[in-house]
Structure 1
Amino acid sequence: MATPKILIVFYSRNGSTAALAEAVAEGARALGAEVRLRRAREMVGPEVMAMAQGWAENAAAMNETYGAPTADDAVWADAIIFGTPTRFGGVASELKAYIDGLGGVWFQGKLNGKLGGVFGSTSSKHGGNESTLLSIYTVMAHLGLIIVPLGYSHPALFKAGTPYGATFISQGDTKKPGDEDLAVARYQGERIAQLAGRIAEPVSSAA
Protein backbone atom coordinates (compact mmCIF):
# COMPACT_ATOMS: atom_id res chain seq x y z
CA MET A 1 0.00 0.00 0.00
CA ALA A 2 1.33 3.45 -0.89
CA THR A 3 1.98 5.93 1.93
CA PRO A 4 -1.23 7.99 2.22
CA LYS A 5 -0.97 11.76 2.59
CA ILE A 6 -3.56 13.22 4.93
CA LEU A 7 -4.38 16.90 5.44
CA ILE A 8 -6.25 17.67 8.66
CA VAL A 9 -7.37 21.30 8.61
CA PHE A 10 -9.40 22.59 11.53
CA TYR A 11 -10.43 25.62 13.49
CA SER A 12 -10.50 25.58 17.29
CA ARG A 13 -10.97 28.40 19.79
CA ASN A 14 -10.79 26.67 23.18
CA GLY A 15 -9.07 23.42 22.28
CA SER A 16 -11.83 20.84 21.95
CA THR A 17 -11.68 20.58 18.17
CA ALA A 18 -7.87 20.68 18.32
CA ALA A 19 -7.90 17.67 20.66
CA LEU A 20 -10.07 15.75 18.20
CA ALA A 21 -7.72 16.79 15.38
CA GLU A 22 -4.74 15.41 17.25
CA ALA A 23 -6.55 12.11 17.78
CA VAL A 24 -7.50 11.90 14.09
CA ALA A 25 -3.85 12.52 13.23
CA GLU A 26 -2.74 9.85 15.69
CA GLY A 27 -5.04 7.31 14.07
CA ALA A 28 -3.85 8.19 10.57
CA ARG A 29 -0.18 7.97 11.56
CA ALA A 30 -0.82 4.56 13.15
CA LEU A 31 -1.68 3.37 9.63
CA GLY A 32 1.58 4.81 8.28
CA ALA A 33 0.14 8.02 6.85
CA GLU A 34 2.06 11.23 6.38
CA VAL A 35 -0.02 13.91 8.10
CA ARG A 36 -0.18 17.68 7.84
CA LEU A 37 -2.07 19.20 10.75
CA ARG A 38 -3.15 22.79 10.09
CA ARG A 39 -5.22 25.39 12.01
CA ALA A 40 -7.31 27.94 10.13
CA ARG A 41 -6.67 31.50 11.25
CA GLU A 42 -8.98 34.09 12.80
CA MET A 43 -11.16 36.31 10.64
CA VAL A 44 -11.54 39.06 13.24
CA GLY A 45 -9.24 41.57 14.88
CA PRO A 46 -7.90 41.68 18.45
CA GLU A 47 -10.69 43.97 19.62
CA VAL A 48 -13.28 41.29 18.88
CA MET A 49 -11.12 38.48 20.25
CA ALA A 50 -10.73 40.41 23.50
CA MET A 51 -14.49 40.09 24.08
CA ALA A 52 -14.15 36.32 24.71
CA GLN A 53 -11.96 35.34 27.65
CA GLY A 54 -8.89 33.38 26.59
CA TRP A 55 -9.54 33.60 22.85
CA ALA A 56 -6.44 35.60 21.92
CA GLU A 57 -4.20 33.61 24.23
CA ASN A 58 -5.49 30.26 22.97
CA ALA A 59 -5.17 31.37 19.35
CA ALA A 60 -1.58 32.48 19.84
CA ALA A 61 -0.64 29.19 21.50
CA MET A 62 -2.29 27.05 18.83
CA ASN A 63 -0.83 29.13 16.01
CA GLU A 64 2.62 28.43 17.47
CA THR A 65 1.85 24.73 17.29
CA TYR A 66 0.01 24.47 13.97
CA GLY A 67 0.85 26.12 10.68
CA ALA A 68 -1.79 27.89 8.60
CA PRO A 69 -3.38 25.77 5.85
CA THR A 70 -2.68 26.55 2.20
CA ALA A 71 -4.20 25.49 -1.10
CA ASP A 72 -0.95 23.61 -1.80
CA ASP A 73 -1.65 21.46 1.27
CA ALA A 74 -4.96 20.40 -0.27
CA VAL A 75 -3.33 19.59 -3.62
CA TRP A 76 -0.64 17.54 -1.85
CA ALA A 77 -3.10 15.42 0.10
CA ASP A 78 -4.79 12.17 -0.86
CA ALA A 79 -7.45 12.90 1.77
CA ILE A 80 -8.66 16.10 3.42
CA ILE A 81 -10.31 15.94 6.84
CA PHE A 82 -12.02 19.10 8.07
CA GLY A 83 -12.62 19.91 11.73
CA THR A 84 -14.82 22.69 13.07
CA PRO A 85 -16.72 23.89 16.10
CA THR A 86 -20.38 24.60 15.48
CA ARG A 87 -21.44 28.17 14.82
CA PHE A 88 -25.23 28.50 14.91
CA GLY A 89 -25.61 25.02 13.44
CA GLY A 90 -22.98 25.50 10.74
CA VAL A 91 -19.27 25.62 10.00
CA ALA A 92 -17.01 28.20 11.67
CA SER A 93 -16.25 31.15 9.39
CA GLU A 94 -12.50 30.64 9.86
CA LEU A 95 -12.62 27.15 8.32
CA LYS A 96 -15.11 28.25 5.67
CA ALA A 97 -12.74 31.03 4.60
CA TYR A 98 -10.02 28.46 3.98
CA ILE A 99 -12.41 26.27 2.00
CA ASP A 100 -13.57 29.26 -0.05
CA GLY A 101 -9.93 29.95 -0.87
CA LEU A 102 -9.65 26.58 -2.63
CA GLY A 103 -11.57 27.88 -5.64
CA GLY A 104 -8.48 28.13 -7.82
CA VAL A 105 -7.29 24.56 -7.35
CA TRP A 106 -10.89 23.33 -7.50
CA PHE A 107 -11.32 25.01 -10.89
CA GLN A 108 -8.19 23.25 -12.13
CA GLY A 109 -9.64 19.90 -11.07
CA LYS A 110 -6.87 19.27 -8.55
CA LEU A 111 -9.20 18.15 -5.77
CA ASN A 112 -11.25 15.62 -7.73
CA GLY A 113 -11.10 12.10 -6.36
CA LYS A 114 -9.48 12.88 -3.03
CA LEU A 115 -11.13 11.47 0.07
CA GLY A 116 -12.98 13.76 2.45
CA GLY A 117 -14.07 13.56 6.06
CA VAL A 118 -15.20 15.89 8.83
CA PHE A 119 -15.31 16.05 12.63
CA GLY A 120 -16.57 18.69 15.01
CA SER A 121 -17.47 19.89 18.47
CA THR A 122 -20.11 22.00 20.11
CA SER A 123 -20.59 23.62 23.48
CA SER A 124 -24.03 22.22 24.29
CA LYS A 125 -26.11 19.13 23.74
CA HIS A 126 -28.17 19.45 20.55
CA GLY A 127 -25.92 22.38 19.65
CA GLY A 128 -25.66 21.45 15.99
CA ASN A 129 -22.92 18.85 15.65
CA GLU A 130 -24.76 16.76 13.09
CA SER A 131 -26.10 19.69 11.07
CA THR A 132 -22.60 21.16 10.93
CA LEU A 133 -20.99 17.94 9.73
CA LEU A 134 -23.71 17.41 7.15
CA SER A 135 -23.30 20.97 5.87
CA ILE A 136 -19.67 20.19 5.09
CA TYR A 137 -20.75 17.04 3.23
CA THR A 138 -22.36 19.39 0.71
CA VAL A 139 -19.15 21.39 0.40
CA MET A 140 -17.08 18.24 -0.06
CA ALA A 141 -19.38 17.09 -2.84
CA HIS A 142 -18.87 20.39 -4.67
CA LEU A 143 -15.09 20.09 -4.27
CA GLY A 144 -15.19 16.66 -5.90
CA LEU A 145 -14.11 14.77 -2.79
CA ILE A 146 -15.14 11.18 -2.12
CA ILE A 147 -16.98 11.46 1.20
CA VAL A 148 -16.04 8.86 3.81
CA PRO A 149 -18.63 8.51 6.59
CA LEU A 150 -18.00 6.38 9.66
CA GLY A 151 -21.34 4.64 9.81
CA TYR A 152 -21.30 2.26 12.76
CA SER A 153 -18.20 0.44 11.60
CA HIS A 154 -16.43 0.50 14.97
CA PRO A 155 -17.68 -0.35 18.50
CA ALA A 156 -16.70 3.13 19.75
CA LEU A 157 -19.41 4.65 17.57
CA PHE A 158 -22.10 3.10 19.73
CA LYS A 159 -20.83 5.22 22.64
CA ALA A 160 -19.66 8.49 21.07
CA GLY A 161 -19.43 10.43 17.82
CA THR A 162 -21.84 10.20 14.90
CA PRO A 163 -22.02 8.14 11.71
CA TYR A 164 -20.93 11.32 9.88
CA GLY A 165 -17.72 11.89 11.84
CA ALA A 166 -16.22 12.25 15.30
CA THR A 167 -17.92 14.79 17.57
CA PHE A 168 -17.69 16.13 21.10
CA ILE A 169 -19.84 18.22 23.47
CA SER A 170 -17.80 20.42 25.81
CA GLN A 171 -20.73 21.49 28.04
CA GLY A 172 -19.76 25.13 28.00
CA ASP A 173 -16.04 24.38 27.78
CA THR A 174 -16.13 22.67 31.16
CA LYS A 175 -15.06 19.31 29.73
CA LYS A 176 -12.38 17.99 27.41
CA PRO A 177 -12.78 15.06 24.99
CA GLY A 178 -12.78 11.78 26.88
CA ASP A 179 -11.54 8.33 25.97
CA GLU A 180 -14.63 7.40 23.98
CA ASP A 181 -14.65 10.66 21.99
CA LEU A 182 -10.96 10.30 21.19
CA ALA A 183 -11.39 6.63 20.25
CA VAL A 184 -13.87 7.62 17.53
CA ALA A 185 -11.53 10.36 16.29
CA ARG A 186 -8.56 7.98 16.15
CA TYR A 187 -10.67 5.47 14.27
CA GLN A 188 -11.70 8.15 11.79
CA GLY A 189 -8.03 8.82 11.08
CA GLU A 190 -7.33 5.12 10.69
CA ARG A 191 -10.30 4.51 8.42
CA ILE A 192 -9.54 7.38 6.07
CA ALA A 193 -5.81 6.63 6.00
CA GLN A 194 -6.49 3.02 5.10
CA LEU A 195 -8.75 3.99 2.21
CA ALA A 196 -6.45 6.81 1.11
CA GLY A 197 -3.59 4.34 0.86
CA ARG A 198 -5.57 2.43 -1.71
CA ILE A 199 -6.34 5.40 -3.91
CA ALA A 200 -2.73 6.57 -3.65
CA GLU A 201 -1.45 3.34 -5.17
CA PRO A 202 0.00 3.80 -8.67
CA VAL A 203 -2.26 2.45 -11.41
CA SER A 204 -0.64 -0.35 -13.40
CA SER A 205 -0.30 0.38 -17.10
CA ALA A 206 -1.77 -3.04 -17.73
CA ALA A 207 -4.92 -2.20 -15.79
Structure 2
Amino acid sequence: MKLAIIYYSETGQTKELAEVIAEGMRKVGSEVRLFSVDEPLDEAYLSACDGVVFGTPTHMATCAWRMNQWLIEERASIPLAGKLGGCFATAHYAQGGSDSAILSILGMLLVKGMLVYSGGSAHGQPFIHHGPVALDAVGNHYEDAKEMFAIFGQRFAEKAIELFEK
Protein backbone atom coordinates (compact mmCIF):
# COMPACT_ATOMS: atom_id res chain seq x y z
CA MET A 1 0.00 0.00 0.00
CA LYS A 2 1.53 3.30 -1.13
CA LEU A 3 0.64 6.40 0.84
CA ALA A 4 1.96 9.94 0.86
CA ILE A 5 1.99 12.98 3.09
CA ILE A 6 2.16 16.39 1.44
CA TYR A 7 2.81 19.28 3.78
CA TYR A 8 3.89 22.86 4.12
CA SER A 9 6.06 23.77 7.11
CA GLU A 10 7.57 27.07 8.15
CA THR A 11 9.09 26.22 11.54
CA GLY A 12 9.57 22.48 11.10
CA GLN A 13 6.69 21.49 13.36
CA THR A 14 4.29 20.50 10.58
CA LYS A 15 7.08 18.47 8.97
CA GLU A 16 7.87 16.77 12.30
CA LEU A 17 4.25 15.76 12.77
CA ALA A 18 4.06 14.51 9.18
CA GLU A 19 6.91 12.16 10.12
CA VAL A 20 4.95 10.99 13.18
CA ILE A 21 1.91 10.21 11.00
CA ALA A 22 4.19 8.31 8.61
CA GLU A 23 5.46 6.18 11.51
CA GLY A 24 1.86 5.23 12.31
CA MET A 25 1.21 4.34 8.67
CA ARG A 26 4.30 2.15 8.55
CA LYS A 27 3.11 0.17 11.61
CA VAL A 28 0.57 -1.54 9.35
CA GLY A 29 3.07 -2.15 6.56
CA SER A 30 2.38 0.82 4.29
CA GLU A 31 5.04 2.38 2.13
CA VAL A 32 5.02 6.10 2.91
CA ARG A 33 6.85 9.08 1.44
CA LEU A 34 6.73 12.68 2.60
CA PHE A 35 6.76 15.69 0.29
CA SER A 36 7.03 19.40 1.01
CA VAL A 37 5.12 21.62 -1.39
CA ASP A 38 8.30 23.71 -1.62
CA GLU A 39 10.36 20.88 -3.09
CA PRO A 40 10.05 18.70 -6.22
CA LEU A 41 7.43 15.99 -5.80
CA ASP A 42 7.70 12.50 -7.27
CA GLU A 43 4.63 12.66 -9.50
CA ALA A 44 4.86 8.98 -10.50
CA TYR A 45 4.87 7.89 -6.85
CA LEU A 46 1.98 10.22 -5.97
CA SER A 47 -0.04 8.99 -8.94
CA ALA A 48 0.40 5.41 -7.68
CA CYS A 49 -0.68 6.22 -4.12
CA ASP A 50 -4.02 5.11 -2.75
CA GLY A 51 -4.07 7.77 -0.05
CA VAL A 52 -2.63 11.20 0.64
CA VAL A 53 -2.64 13.18 3.88
CA PHE A 54 -2.13 16.94 3.74
CA GLY A 55 -0.57 18.99 6.54
CA THR A 56 -0.61 22.71 7.18
CA PRO A 57 0.22 25.27 9.80
CA THR A 58 -2.76 27.45 10.72
CA HIS A 59 -2.69 31.05 9.49
CA MET A 60 -5.51 33.53 10.04
CA ALA A 61 -7.88 30.67 10.94
CA THR A 62 -7.29 28.81 7.67
CA CYS A 63 -4.63 26.75 5.94
CA ALA A 64 -1.34 28.34 5.01
CA TRP A 65 -1.50 30.22 1.70
CA ARG A 66 1.27 28.03 0.26
CA MET A 67 -0.74 24.82 0.80
CA ASN A 68 -3.82 26.50 -0.66
CA GLN A 69 -1.81 27.67 -3.67
CA TRP A 70 -0.39 24.20 -4.24
CA LEU A 71 -3.80 22.53 -4.11
CA ILE A 72 -5.36 25.05 -6.47
CA GLU A 73 -2.59 25.77 -8.96
CA GLU A 74 0.19 23.19 -8.84
CA ARG A 75 -1.29 19.76 -8.26
CA ALA A 76 -2.87 19.54 -11.71
CA SER A 77 -0.54 16.79 -12.92
CA ILE A 78 -1.22 14.57 -9.89
CA PRO A 79 -4.53 12.69 -10.03
CA LEU A 80 -6.27 12.83 -6.66
CA ALA A 81 -9.76 11.61 -7.59
CA GLY A 82 -10.66 8.29 -6.01
CA LYS A 83 -7.81 8.38 -3.49
CA LEU A 84 -8.32 8.48 0.28
CA GLY A 85 -7.55 11.95 1.63
CA GLY A 86 -6.93 13.31 5.07
CA CYS A 87 -5.55 16.36 6.80
CA PHE A 88 -3.79 17.63 9.92
CA ALA A 89 -2.81 21.03 11.27
CA THR A 90 -0.49 22.74 13.66
CA ALA A 91 -1.43 25.92 15.53
CA HIS A 92 -0.52 28.04 18.51
CA TYR A 93 -3.83 28.07 20.41
CA ALA A 94 -7.01 26.01 20.53
CA GLN A 95 -9.07 28.94 19.27
CA GLY A 96 -6.55 29.72 16.53
CA GLY A 97 -8.63 28.22 13.75
CA SER A 98 -7.02 24.82 13.23
CA ASP A 99 -10.41 23.15 12.59
CA SER A 100 -11.13 25.82 9.97
CA ALA A 101 -7.71 25.18 8.42
CA ILE A 102 -8.40 21.46 8.19
CA LEU A 103 -11.92 21.96 6.85
CA SER A 104 -10.66 24.37 4.17
CA ILE A 105 -8.39 21.62 2.85
CA LEU A 106 -10.95 18.83 3.23
CA GLY A 107 -13.41 20.85 1.15
CA MET A 108 -10.85 21.12 -1.65
CA LEU A 109 -10.14 17.38 -1.45
CA LEU A 110 -13.84 16.65 -1.91
CA VAL A 111 -13.99 18.96 -4.94
CA LYS A 112 -11.01 17.07 -6.39
CA GLY A 113 -12.92 13.78 -6.02
CA MET A 114 -11.06 12.34 -3.05
CA LEU A 115 -12.68 10.15 -0.42
CA VAL A 116 -12.23 11.99 2.87
CA TYR A 117 -11.13 10.00 5.91
CA SER A 118 -12.45 10.63 9.37
CA GLY A 119 -12.17 8.07 12.11
CA GLY A 120 -14.59 10.26 14.05
CA SER A 121 -15.55 8.54 17.26
CA ALA A 122 -15.96 5.10 15.65
CA HIS A 123 -12.59 3.92 16.97
CA GLY A 124 -12.97 5.39 20.44
CA GLN A 125 -10.31 7.50 22.10
CA PRO A 126 -8.65 9.53 20.85
CA PHE A 127 -11.51 11.06 18.88
CA ILE A 128 -10.07 12.52 15.66
CA HIS A 129 -13.03 13.94 13.79
CA HIS A 130 -11.52 16.15 11.08
CA GLY A 131 -7.83 15.43 11.58
CA PRO A 132 -5.30 15.76 14.38
CA VAL A 133 -4.12 19.13 15.67
CA ALA A 134 -1.04 19.99 17.73
CA LEU A 135 -0.85 23.25 19.68
CA ASP A 136 2.58 24.62 20.54
CA ALA A 137 1.57 27.37 22.99
CA VAL A 138 -0.67 25.28 25.25
CA GLY A 139 1.29 23.51 27.97
CA ASN A 140 2.68 20.20 26.73
CA HIS A 141 0.00 19.76 24.06
CA TYR A 142 2.43 19.65 21.14
CA GLU A 143 4.45 16.76 22.59
CA ASP A 144 1.40 15.00 24.03
CA ALA A 145 -0.38 15.17 20.65
CA LYS A 146 2.27 13.09 18.91
CA GLU A 147 0.64 9.85 20.06
CA MET A 148 -2.65 10.99 18.50
CA PHE A 149 -0.84 11.79 15.22
CA ALA A 150 0.68 8.29 15.13
CA ILE A 151 -2.74 6.75 15.81
CA PHE A 152 -4.25 8.87 13.01
CA GLY A 153 -1.58 7.60 10.62
CA GLN A 154 -2.22 4.00 11.59
CA ARG A 155 -6.00 4.36 11.27
CA PHE A 156 -5.68 6.14 7.91
CA ALA A 157 -3.47 3.35 6.55
CA GLU A 158 -5.81 0.66 7.86
CA LYS A 159 -8.74 2.32 6.07
CA ALA A 160 -6.73 2.63 2.84
CA ILE A 161 -5.88 -1.07 3.04
CA GLU A 162 -9.54 -1.93 3.68
CA LEU A 163 -10.67 0.15 0.69
CA PHE A 164 -7.96 -0.48 -1.90
CA GLU A 165 -5.91 -3.58 -1.22
CA LYS A 166 -6.51 -5.95 -4.05
TM-score by length of 2: 0.88
In 2, Cα distance between equivalents of 1:40 and 1:154 = 33
Deviation at 1:18, TM superposition (A): 1.7
SS at match of 2:29: coil
Residue 111 of structure 2 corresponds to: 142
Correspondence list, 1:177-188, <5 A? 177-179=142-144, 181-188=145-152
Correspondence list, 1:51-62, <5 A? none
SS at match of 2:55: strand
SS at match of 2:126: helix
More strand by share: 2
Deviation at 1:73, TM superposition (A): 4.0
Correspondence list, 1:1-207, <5 A? 4-41=1-38, 68-100=40-72, 101-105=74-78, 110-152=79-121, 153-157=123-127, 162-171=128-137, 177-179=142-144, 181-202=145-166
RMSD: 2.0
The count of corresponding residues between Structure 1 and Structure 2 is 164
Q: Which runs of 5+ in 1 are unaligned?
A: 42-66, 203-207
Q: Which runs of 5+ in 2 are unaligned?
A: none
Which protein shows a greater Rg?
1
* One-letter code aligned to 1:177: Y
Q: Structure 1 residue runs of 4+, over 6 Å off? A: none
TM-score by length of 1: 0.72
In 1, Cα distance between equivalents of 2:137 and 2:28 = 32
CA contact (8 A) 1:156 1:183 kept: no
